Amino acid sequence: MKTGAFVALLAAACGIASGCGAGAKHATVPPAAEQQTVARHFAQAIFRGNAHAAVALLVHPEDKALSSFVAESAAPWRAQHGSIRLPATRSGTQWIFGYAGTHTHANGTFQQVQGDIAVSVGSSRGTAGVELFLIRKNHVRYGTHHDSVLLPSNR
């Protein structure tokens, strides 16, 4: 008798939990077009060095750790902007853009940087926003201004 009541209570709890979880999860997924727009704007803000605009697109802009990471990621791109490649690749609510840019220095050296930025989009307060992001620098090429003026050798 006690086992039957326990099973019934467990079944009811699971039914309620699965119903609530499914409805809540379904409601929090923004449309793909809105996700892509937010992800693109976020990536563009990072590679233009505009941390303020990127933080404004976060689901939780008050999250100090994530906001600081956004500012640190955008800082190298303030003076010389990078660009993102379109279209993005999509995997669920994650959007992956390729990026490229060059950082030149006063001493004539430069870094050509290429990689990917993965932006995970969720929903908060009825609108899409960035939950997490990851920048993967797949390739950094170092050089100097002399590299561009060297001629091939005849040897």
Query: pLDDT for 4-17, tens place per residue?
Result: 433 333 333 334 33
Looking at the structure, tell me whether residues 11 and 68 fall in a common domain.
no
Omega prior to 87 cis, within 30 of 0 = yes
Neighbouring C-beta atoms of residue 111, cutoff 10 Å: 16
Q: Domain for residue 155, yes or no? A: no
Percent of the chain with pLDDT over 90: 61
Sheet architecture: strand order including 127-144: 83-91, 94-104, 109-124, 127-144
pTM of the complete model: 0.75
Query: pLDDT for 15-44, tens place per residue?
Result: 433 344 444 444 468 899 999 999 999 999
Q: Domain for residue 154, yes or no? A: no
Q: Indicate which CATH number applies to the domain containing 66.
A: 3.10.450.50
Neighbouring C-beta atoms of residue 114, cutoff 10 Å: 15
